Amino acid sequence: MKTIEWKDGKVFLIDQKKLPLKYEIINCSTYQEVAEAIKKMKIRGAPAIGVAAAFGIALAAYSSKADTYKEFGLDMEKAKNCLALTRPTAVNLFWAL
């Protein structure tokens, strides 16, 4: 298992807070779930946080119900802002966004 992985329209990540005593995979179906995992430090390390944020944006795009480019842009901006608030000092997170 990779630390974080995209599969079938979902993001799977190792809950690093539980390591090394327990190995648990978190299944994220929405960018909000990815944001929560980052915020609660279930995913750690600058590169992994950046990848998680990028996957969060991908989830937002994947699940957008927008009918116009403008609506889609607003959906992406909302997801970006949500993810950005999770770790305001994480440089790799902002590179990914």
The pTM for the full model equals 0.88
- The domain of 76 spans 4-96
Q: Alpha-carbon distance 91 to 21, whole Å?
A: 29
Maximum C-alpha span of the chain: 47
Q: Yes or no: say if 90 and 46 are a contact pair by the CB < 8 Å rule.
A: yes
Number of structural domains in the chain = 1
**How far is the CA of 5 from the CAs of 30, 58, 68, in angstroms?**
14, 12, 29
Return the CATH number at 47.
1.20.120.420
Q: Alpha-carbon distance 85 to 64, whole Å?
A: 20
Summary mean pLDDT of the chain: 92
Q: Summarize pLDDT for 12-57 with one digit per residue, the tens.
A: 999 999 999 999 999 999 999 999 999 999 998 888 999 999 999 9
Instruction: Fill in the DSSP letter of residue 2.
Output: -
Q: Alpha-carbon distance 13 to 76, whole Å?
A: 22
